[in-house]
Structure 1
């Protein structure tokens, strides 16, 4: 598997005229490793799957929040949710473990992944994501994130998690 590169993220941002600020830092593979603070809200991204592996969900939520997968499964009409495998990450988003990012949705041409965003995130603040590198964070306006996802043909579904 050839993983996506930072250029794959910046290409879309530049193509759409989205302004962003890029921050380099030590590699971060889990939210607990974040010791830096960027302007705007810090988030984590989780790739989840249903029991039958027929539906995947990319969940974006505050870095400080613990997702209640049982409650989320109920909201989504699923029996159970669990974390996707490393192979699923590679196949669907073209990323290795520790670098899950909504930028990977550009590769989900078969619409296997539904984008979920915690409804407690402040849509008036900037939001940051790894651009396929866990040693860089790109901060952009929430409205620009929404526009980017629309261009990836993935609408944002707000959920309480």
Structure 2
């Protein structure tokens, strides 16, 4: 089963209402927001990092940037890197830019969410592919995830 169908099944099994949006290929947060017709703020940008222990998922508002020094501090790790495109495909079954904002049970990774995500009433994300997005209510998203909530965004200027 592909990642998009896994997400769809997960949402439906948990009685979550969501909007599915088909769009042109959107490899960036800016394009995804444009095609969805939504603010970039509600986008959930999901990144897979590897530290000395293993891989971890981090979700942040698409309008912000990750401060890798803060991530290192959260993980207590000096060494940190993004997952490679091959690792994203091998571990998650997705290409860069299509990683959904869910850890367990959908993806076997610890999940860290920047507090910026919760400023919004909705969350939008590429649903395992670059041509489909899901948009859902933030309260529903909160019920589905068991994250470590922290602050790892760069300070807004």
Structure 2 partner of 1:24: 22
Structure 2 partner of 1:152: none
**Contact 1:103/1:132 (<8 A) preserved:** no
Structure 2 partner of 1:138: 134
What is the TM-score when the length of structure 2 is the normalising length?
Answer: 0.81
Query: For 1:160, which of 146, 151, 156 is the aligned residue?
Result: 151
Distance verdict in 2 for CA 1:104–1:132, change over 3 Å: farther
Within 5 Å, which residues of 2 pair with 1:65-80? 65-80=64-79
Which shifted more, 64-73 or 94-103?
Answer: 94-103
**Contact 1:99/1:130 (<8 A) preserved:** yes
Give 1:20 shift. Answer: 0.7
Q: How many residues align?
A: 149
Distance verdict in 2 for CA 1:49–1:66, change over 3 Å: same
Q: Secondary structure at the match of 1:57?
A: strand
**Contact 1:47/1:58 (<8 A) preserved:** yes
Moved over 3 A (4+): 103-108
Q: Secondary structure at the match of 2:123?
A: strand
Equivalents in 2 of 1:48, 1:131: separation in Å? 19
Structure 1 partner of 2:84: 85
Structure 1 partner of 2:54: 55
Gaps of 5+ in 1: 150-154
Which shifted more, 74-83 or 94-103?
Answer: 94-103
Gaps of 5+ in 2: 153-157
Q: Secondary structure at the match of 2:99?
A: coil
Within 5 Å, which residues of 2 pair with 1:7-18? 7-18=5-16
Q: Secondary structure at the match of 1:27?
A: coil
What is the TM-score when the length of structure 1 is the normalising length?
Answer: 0.79
Q: Secondary structure at the match of 1:75?
A: helix
Cα deviations by residue, 1:51-83 (Å, 9 ceiling, x for unpaired)? x3x221211111111101012211221113210
